[in-house]
Homo-oligomer: A and B are copies of this chain.
């Protein structure tokens, strides 16, 4: 029975609950999900600066709760800290955008990306290019600026998001659609019945694919270097006391 650690890279506990619920609902039977919140940082991750500053607290959460886990998922679209985490921990670590992109590729030839606000598009675009899968993406369909509570945007903009998915399918030719952004976790499951193409929920993709990777990473050597100015859990990853 795999035990998956799910890290919310922002400091907002209500988002952690939302993604934990989505993860448990979408995981294969028997998967155990442990969801934790970043111990410091920012309440919401929107810009490149936010993304950078969310990396160290994500690593700290993995360091503090990773013992006894078989794999981990960084549950913040944009995958802050992902490459560092892959290097530093002895178990597989995936990000939810990485997982969503690859799962979408396995389900169809071309995928679209839908989210609630265009403000996230540059970060998503960078992330897509970073993973090398831009050629598989037919484009983005994003809603207008959103100033409300991210914890409720999935419900408030349900109709708009459904429309955007249909545009992605009909106008852009998407064979699969990703509902992107941690605040939309769980929404795909409620919309799927109304749609002819698979919807991908990044959190579900993350726990599914993380479970598939259990046991496939060899042990790596720990770095040894005096890391200063960060919490002890991070210094310990570098061999520090």
Contacts and interface: CB of A to CB of B under 8 A. Distances in A.
A155 interface: no
A28 B31 CA distance: 12
B49 A84 contact: yes
A227 B50 CA distance: 9
Interface residues of A, number: 79
Interface in A95-109: 98-99, 102-103, 105-109
Interface of A: 2, 11, 28, 39-44, 47-53, 55-57, 59, 81, 83-84, 86-88, 92, 94, 98-99, 102-103, 105-110, 118, 121-122, 125-126, 129-133, 135-136, 173, 175, 192, 195-198, 200, 208-209, 211-214, 216-218, 220, 223, 225-231, 234, 237-238
Given A42-B225, A53-B230, A84-B49, A105 B102 contact: yes
Given A48-B84, A223-B47, A213 B218 contact: no
How many copies of this kind of chain does the complex include?
6
Nearest to A142: B173
Contacts of A234: 53
B136 A48 contact: no
A233 to B, nearest CB: 12
A83 to B, nearest CB: 4
A109 B122 contact: yes
Given A173-B122, A208-B213, A218-B197, A226 B43 contact: yes
